[in-house]
Amino acid sequence: MAQLNYWLLLGSFLLLLATLSSTITARLGLPLLLVFLGVGMLAGDSGPGQIQFSNYPLAFGVGNVALAVILLAGGLQTRIQSFRVALKPALSLATVGVLVSAGLAGVFAHWLLDLPWLHALLLGAIVGSTDAAAVFAQLRYGGVRLNERVGATLEIESGANDPMAIFLVVTLLTVVSGASQPSATGMLIEFVRQFGLGAVGGLAGGWLISRAASRFSLAESLYPLLILGGGLMIFAATNSLGGSGFLGIYLAGLVIGNRPLPASESVRSMMDGLAWLAQAGMFLLLGLLVTPSRLLPEIGPSLAFAALLMFIARPIAVALCLIPLKFSRREILFVSWVGLRGAVPIVLATFPIMAGVNGSVALFDIAFAVVLASLLIQGTLVPWMAKRCRVEVPDYPEPLARHGLRQPGRADWQIVQYRVVAGAPAEHSMPHTAPHLEHGRAKPLAVLRGVRLMLPRQAEHLRAGDLVVAAATEHALPDLGRWYGEAQNTRMAYERTFFGDFVIDGDAPLLAIAELYDCPVAENEAEFDVAALIHARLNRPAVVGDQVDFGSMTLIVREVERGRITRVGLKLGH
């Protein structure tokens, strides 16, 4: 019992220390996962903690379960609508991109680190894929909102590229260890089995879990446990059948999160907390595995290898995958930059150690150095790169709280709360006359002023500090956030800088705009409206933030509804 209390006290102290340290690193712009990793290293045998830990099988098991929880939570928060613009590029990056990155990394490892070819290619496969934990954490909590095409591509890629990396590592391990020499046919069959069973198991399992959740009436606090238990069952069953459990649990979360689900906000909130706990525990444990005194003598070549991976291998792989899909150079540059490495390479690096491959500890140390460099350099500069590459779009304040409504067949209505800030458009307005209520997407229910709860008609005019409770659809939340939660002059100044001084409808005739601003119009575009021109110039589905030059002006997509451009910003003198 004393031993149990000791480890429980130590683990909780490390978790608390890493969490509190995040307040400092947030000001410095450092990724939170780097903090957990650093605390684990300091607690290890070469740090002040002096904890002796070298249980690679335990770290492998914990890492797998933690990654499964993270992918399930990530799938729950991924909107199926994002697949309209991101499925093709994400799948290309998750397969061809990983293969190219791993191959180039293997060449660099052989040349720079003087590793035998098979060991070099094995190292390339270990570090060739991006990490879902690192990507989800930086994109969703890094303080930047990306345009839908770029953000969804990066998230879906990180959720779907683990099968390719595992396939490459396992295949190369069988060759390095001399267990067998896999044939091309056998490799193809294994590849199809990994992806096929993972996809089928995840989609079918997710549908079954969502059906079970909607049919059984449970206490609200039990629905997250149902989702978690069902997701881990899909993960284990898919792995047992020879498929990719990681792909399966991500797709299961995607299906569950996009179907009607009782207590959906409670499920997402609890799963988000569990994902953070999984990330913290996993990175603390992986940090304990590292011996800095063993890492330091080879840190120079390892960091040089990491630089080649970040600045040459990843950009080449991304360019090969995204240029045919009409991504702009700025988007390709940003996607190349956010090739974050995290827990996945470290977990994969335990494979050779457990298989008894010669030199496997050195491969583990190099992979760890790559992860440190990626989180420290790439992760820290994600917001800065988003601004430089102009792939961010204006964000909107989130509700203070939200609660999903239980209703058969629909899950989009929810109860939300907003605090009216000073200078917001809602200040001094009547609660029931706000412009976002016109299309029936939101309805104010109550206003809390101090300790007095009132109906909207009793409040007369809203004041700064009022708490507004409303029923709203998901689609209405951006408008609600801007209406209640942000000062109008701040919002207008930022949107004017981003979208330009003027706003026009997507169906505005192009000739009328051309005559007004004296711009030439090509003969084949004379019958276009503004939306048609943007679609024709982009030659791909449009998202908010897409830009097209027209004469001396720039047209910037401001609103998109069901694939149709409805509002466009106009910026003069591009």
Q: H/E/C letters for each residue in 178-208?
A: CCCCCCHHHHHHHHHHHHHHHHHHHHHHHHH
Least confident of 15-19, 262-266, 542-546: 15-19
pLDDT tens readout for residues 72-124? 988 888 888 788 788 899 999 999 999 999 999 999 999 999 899 999 999 99
Q: Token digits for 116? A: 């035998």
Q: What percent of the chain has pLDDT over 70?
A: 89
Q: Are 444 and 323 found together in one domain? A: no
In a domain, 162, yes or no: yes
| Cα 287 from Cα 33, distance rounded (Å) | 11
Burial class of residue 272, CB neighbours in 10 A (0-12, 13-18, 19+): middle
DSSP string, 252-316: HHHHHHTS--TTHHHHHHHHHHHHHHHHHHHHHHHHHH--HHHHGGGHHHHHHHHHHIIIIIHHH
Which DSSP letter does residue 75 get? H
Q: Are 475 and 363 found together in one domain? A: no
pLDDT tens readout for residues 443-485? 888 888 888 888 888 877 888 888 889 888 877 888 888 888 7
pLDDT mean over 296-317: 90
In a domain, 557, yes or no: yes
Q: Among the three residues 388, 409, 434, which one is the final residue of a domain in this structure?
A: 388
Task: Tell me phi and psi for residue 16, to 5 degrees.
Answer: -65, -40
| Cα 71 from Cα 86, distance rounded (Å) | 17
Is the distance from CB of 434 to CB of 415 less than 8 angstroms? no
pLDDT mean over 383-402: 84
DSSP string, 117-131: HHHHHHHHHHTSS--
Please report, for residues 21, 121, 424, 452, the alpha-carbon distance to residue 61 in angstroms, rounded to integers and kept in the order given.
27, 24, 50, 53
Element housing 469 (H / E)? strand 467-473
What's the pLDDT band for 195 if we cut at 50, 70, 90? confident
Query: What is this structure's pTM?
Result: 0.84
Task: Tell me phi and psi for residue 490, to 5 degrees.
Answer: -65, -45
Q: How many domains does the chain have?
A: 3
pLDDT of residue 570: 86
Q: Are 154 and 269 found together in one domain? A: yes
pLDDT of residue 337: 94
Rounded-to-10 torsion of CA 417, 422, 423, 424: 0
pLDDT of residue 437: 62
Q: Are 154 and 266 found together in one domain? A: yes
Cβ neighbours for 12, distance < 8 A, ≥ 6 positions apart = none
pLDDT of residue 508: 86
Please report, for residues 131, 506, 508, the alpha-carbon distance to residue 548 in angstroms, rounded to integers and kept in the order given.
33, 13, 16
Of residues 534 and 501, more confidence is placed in 534
pLDDT of residue 329: 92
Neighbours of 86 (CB within 10 A): 24
Cα-only R_g, the chain: 26
Q: Which domain holds residue 352?
A: 2-388
Per the prediction, the chain carries an average pLDDT of 83
Q: Are 449 and 537 found together in one domain? A: no
Q: Token digits for 389? A: 């590459």
Rounded-to-10 torsion of CA 320, 323, 328, 329: 40
What's the pLDDT band for 335 if we cut at 50, 70, 90? very high
Alpha helices in 29-147 (DSSP H): 32-43, 56-76, 83-92, 98-112, 117-126, 132-141
Q: Are 250 and 344 found together in one domain? A: yes
End-to-end CA distance of the chain: 70
Q: What percent of the chain has pLDDT over 90?
A: 19
Q: Are 505 and 439 found together in one domain? A: no
Task: Tell me phi and psi for residue 324, to 5 degrees.
Answer: -65, -20
Residue 301: pLDDT above 70? yes
User: Can you say whether the dihedral through the CA atoms of 72, 74, 76, 79 is positive or negative?
Assistant: negative
Which residues in 534-551 are b (16+ Cβ under 10 Å) and which e?
A: bbebbebebbbbbbbebe
Q: Are 375 and 519 found together in one domain? A: no
Q: Are 349 and 257 found together in one domain? A: yes
Q: Are 298 and 358 found together in one domain? A: yes
Which DSSP letter does residue 398 get? P
3-state SS assignment for residue 513: helix
Element housing 516 (H / E)? helix 510-517
Q: Which CATH number does the domain housing residue 422 bear? A: 3.30.70.1450
pLDDT of residue 27: 61
C-alpha angle 145-147-149 in degrees, rounded to nearest 5: 135
In a domain, 39, yes or no: yes
| Cα 377 from Cα 59, distance rounded (Å) | 25
Least confident of 12-21, 204-213, 227-236: 12-21
In a domain, 176, yes or no: yes
Q: Which CATH number does the domain housing residue 552 bear? A: 3.30.465.10
In a domain, 441, yes or no: yes
Element housing 375 (H / E)? none
pLDDT tens readout for residues 124-180? 999 998 888 788 877 877 677 888 889 889 988 988 888 888 888 888 888 887 666
In a domain, 393, yes or no: no
pLDDT mean over 208-229: 86
What's the pLDDT band for 19 if we cut at 50, 70, 90? low
Q: Which CATH number does the domain housing residue 52 bear? A: 1.20.1530.20
Q: Among the three residues 461, 490, 519, which one is the final residue of a domain in this structure?
A: 490
pLDDT of residue 296: 77
In a domain, 217, yes or no: yes
Q: Are 321 and 448 found together in one domain? A: no
In a domain, 395, yes or no: no
Give Dmax over CA atoms of the chain in angstroms.
83
Q: Among the three residues 356, 388, 420, which one is the final residue of a domain in this structure?
A: 388
| Cα 416 from Cα 273, distance rounded (Å) | 20
Residue 16: pLDDT above 80? no
Residue 26: pLDDT above 60? no
pLDDT mean over 276-285: 80
Q: Are 122 and 198 found together in one domain? A: yes
pLDDT tens readout for residues 514-541? 888 778 878 787 788 888 888 888 888 8
